[in-house]
Structure 1
């Protein structure tokens, strides 16, 4: 039942990369809490906190597929290095507020969008190199390890971010984020040359080839549609500042613990990932995880105390991790290497831009109605979407992982 550590022993480049991701994702969580708090502090508007999600989503949507095609055309290690250096530069610009003072919200969102633009290129290459570093039988374990790296950083990062912002302000959180990116650079520099065999048509034609593969492969198409429907309809994070202010006094430490609670459940699900990564039908696992996410958020909407709210968010985090690991396993095992960059870009748009668009939906709905209505309606729509996709996509329900050697 426990997480498989064999990928860390089997591949030194994967081990270095994984360590770098753990450290840099921690810094990213500090920065995220700082951005959300700074935007709310300056505007007191759920629509503006939702706009943070829009600033993160638009670069992924506009650039992601073209970046995926570039990942399949060029040597992947060099491409990954360029995107990592770009993220370091952007984090340093955000940290400059320690010297120049707080920037207007519009400028801050522009920097968030710039960071997301580099992330739009870094995400597909990070996903596509995994099968070049690990044998097929260790892919699911490697994906689960990557997930626990994210959830472990999220477990500590948001709570630490709340304390840092409360004590020293957002600028300090941005500075730490910039420094932690050096660990990501350490991981990338340890990669071997990662060339791709096969010709990729330039420009839009290469992008279309990748999209055609996604659309014509039922198991991948069903997995991405499920995740996109759920995240766009029910992502609650943009509602956290308003819910925190409305119910729990607006303490930034409580805001950080909302995110930490999701991570607690995610870490638990990652530690016990052997219980579901070895199951033969990842599509069924994903559907159960996605539906459980919606149920947990519906219960969170009625939580009367912070600790009960934290408990429901932990259940949601566990369900999300199960769903994400199953989705990524489906994509990695059913995509040829020469298409992985483009398919990984499509997966990133679903996995990253989808939640950001969902945060926009939540923020706008809360502004027009109330945070409670936005949260509960999203949970109900999420459950309805999962049931619909399960009923109309038999290829996802019947997908089977190849036997491990």
Structure 2
């Protein structure tokens, strides 16, 4: 079958966007290795490591309403370009601090705030632009392909960053900056027909539109909240260092294998879904995937062997990827284009909150009950959420396809 000029343009656009996402993801994953290692080297404090993540998350939380409005009102391609230029500039500051021997923990914290601010604007714009580049019937495959790019960077980025760090922190930061700039160049030449939106009044009602849309749309609310509570309760990966050292009695190499296992499962599942997208019973598939996530968490908590623990984490990552693809596709297809920025911004807070609070919940329950009981309780909690959500959101359970079913 011969491709039409418009379909060829769409394919080329998506490839450009996909490569740009890979470059940006690699830059950020390498950067996190450098920042994490250096701030711990400077402070010798585990709390300092936590503060880096906190300082990146706070701007995303505080700017939720603003960034969604910006993504809906202005050119999403240019927003992504500007945010990645900002991240490149921030990394340049870190490189300069190392080259001049003026680097400090406070400088890293300040750069973490700048990175968090840039990512706060980038995430909703990047998510909202995707449906503008490809037809709706290919969105599920596109989401899977983007997810595969992210998982590739999660697996290979830290390893590459660790190797480059051996040449010195400035080398790592300059390499990260180069990847951000490469992503900027790719997106700058992306063919994106931006249509200026009408000048709606910027009031609180408009800014809260994304949150209100999620609240009123049962499919979106059900899928987003199900994923949020699953990650919140089943966030066993936050306890991996303790599991590796005290339960599996392995070293840093074992911890590295444990960290790679869920990302590898997610990567392979995303590749599979990009080739064979879900076409029916997506609601039931979502619930089954989250239930498998919970069961894999329980197995991981009970395991005392490295191979079994890796296998459980592999299944956990693969099942989570199914949930991510279904949720992301439903959110994008259910949301009108002029609201995708605000809805994506609100959705990113659900995701960010579940990840951050999930780590806190895992740490708190581990401190109260012990590591193994905390992980097992989290897995059973995820299963309980699945059962409750099946009752609260029956329309999600009976959802057949990812595409809009209203005729």
**CA-CA distance at 1:193 after TM superposition:** 4.3
**CA-CA distance at 1:250 after TM superposition:** 7.7
- Give the Cα–Cα distance (whole angstroms) in 1 for the partners of residues 8 and 371 of structure 2: 42
**CA-CA distance at 1:95 after TM superposition:** 3.6
Is 1:304 aligned to residue 307 of structure 2? no
- Give the Cα–Cα distance (whole angstroms) in 1 for the partners of residues 379 and 110 of structure 2: 30
Secondary structure at the counterpart of residue 63 of structure 2: helix
Question: Alpha-carbon deviations, 1:145-190, whole Å to 9, x = none?
Answer: 101111122222233345555x456665444322211232123202
User: Partner residue of 2:3?
Assistant: none
Secondary structure at the counterpart of residue 112 of structure 2: helix
User: Partner residue of 1:149?
Assistant: 149
- Give the Cα–Cα distance (whole angstroms) in 2 for the partners of residues 61 and 364 of structure 1: 22
User: Partner residue of 2:403?
Assistant: 402
**CA-CA distance at 1:243 after TM superposition:** 3.4
Question: Alpha-carbon deviations, 1:114-152, whole Å to 9, x = none?
Answer: 212211110101111111111111111111110111112
Contact 2:145 2:274 in 1 (8 A): no
**CA-CA distance at 1:265 after TM superposition:** 0.4
In structure 1, list runs of 5 or more residues that go unmatched. Answer: 1-5
- Give the Cα–Cα distance (whole angstroms) in 2 for the partners of residues 222 and 362 of structure 1: 23
**CA-CA distance at 1:376 after TM superposition:** 3.2
Question: Alpha-carbon deviations, 1:175-219, whole Å to 9, x = none?
Answer: 432221123212320223423544443143322222221111110
Contact 2:131 2:332 in 1 (8 A): yes
Aligned pairs (5 A) from 1:69-218: 69-96=69-96, 98-100=98-100, 105=105, 107-164=107-164, 167-168=166-167, 172-191=171-190, 192-218=192-218
Question: Alpha-carbon deviations, 1:343-363, whole Å to 9, x = none?
Answer: 111222222342123223334
User: If you compute each CA radius of gyration, which structure gives the higher value, 1 or 2?
Assistant: 2
Secondary structure at the counterpart of residue 302 of structure 2: coil
Alignment root-mean-square deviation, CA? 3.0
In structure 2, list runs of 5 or more residues that go unmatched. Answer: 1-5
1:24–1:138 CA distance, 2 compared to 1 (3 A) = same
- Which stretch of the first structure deviates more once superposed, 61-70 or 42-51? 42-51
Secondary structure at the counterpart of residue 195 of structure 2: coil
Aligned length: 398
Aligned pairs (5 A) from 1:4-403: 10-38=10-38, 49-96=49-96, 98-100=98-100, 105=105, 107-164=107-164, 167-168=166-167, 172-191=171-190, 192-247=192-247, 251-273=251-273, 277-367=277-367, 370-399=370-399, 400-402=401-403
- Which stretch of the first structure deviates more once superposed, 73-82 or 126-135? 73-82
- Which stretch of the first structure deviates more once superposed, 362-371 or 119-128? 362-371
- With the length of structure 2 as denominator, give the TM-score of the two structures: 0.86
Contact 1:17 1:186 in 2 (8 A): no
**CA-CA distance at 1:392 after TM superposition:** 1.2
Secondary structure at the counterpart of residue 277 of structure 1: coil
Question: Alpha-carbon deviations, 1:380-403, whole Å to 9, x = none?
Answer: 322222222222111211223338
**CA-CA distance at 1:368 after TM superposition:** 5.4
- Which stretch of the first structure deviates more once superposed, 257-266 or 327-336? 257-266
- With the length of structure 1 as denominator, give the TM-score of the two structures: 0.86
- Give the Cα–Cα distance (whole angstroms) in 2 for the partners of residues 168 and 249 of structure 1: 31
